[in-house]
Amino acid sequence: MKVSSSNIVEGEILPQHGMYGEHMDGDVPTLSFPLSIKYAPKDTVCYAIKMTDPDSVPLCGYEWYHWTVVNLKDDELPENASVLRAAKMVQGKNDFGKIGYGGPTPPDKPHTYVITVYALDCVVGLENGFTKEEFEEAIKGHILAEASMEGLYNN
């Protein structure tokens, strides 16, 4: 399986998808980037997505969750799908305390963000606003394949 985004260029997330963008909810960036999923197992029922910041661990003591999605049926996710609800999906609460995509806002140095897509064998029973713990528990035992990509965001 493979995941890619036209808005992660040469390993860097384009500025509009983070703290330098114009789409904000208070101080939280909301313009999600497009995603393309290819070569998923034929038994895939839906996808789950997780975007995290491992570079946040020294700052806050844990890996910051920027976006969690479950029950995505489409192989292509357009830009700003999080806000526009352009795809049928269920979104969790990010570590900013908001439902949906919360883009990069690295406080100390450039951070590398990890976007992981999971091919699942079933639809999971979560509703909008689920927690990261509920996300991890819901997909456990249902992952057919996974693919990750990384993107650097400069501060």
| CATH code of the domain covering residue 65 | 3.90.280.10
pLDDT at position 85 is 80
pLDDT at position 155 is 85
In whole angstroms, give the CA distance from residue 152 to residue 105: 11
Which parts of the chain fold into alpha helices (H)?
Answer: 57-60, 81-84, 132-139
- Mean pLDDT over residues 94-101, rounded? 98
What does the pLDDT look like over 112-150, one tens digit per residue? 999 999 999 999 999 999 999 999 999 999 999 999 999
Q: How is residue 69 written in tokens?
A: 């999605």
pLDDT at position 86 is 67
- Mean pLDDT over residues 95-114, rounded? 97
**pLDDT at 82 > cutoff 70:** yes
Q: In the structure, what pLDDT confidence band is assigned to residue 87 with cuts at 50, 70 and 90?
A: confident
Return mean pLDDT, the chain: 97
**What is the span of the domain harbouring residue 77?**
2-153
**pLDDT at 2 > cutoff 90:** yes
In whole angstroms, give the CA distance from residue 90 to residue 99: 10
Q: Considering its fold, how many domains does the chain have in total?
A: 1
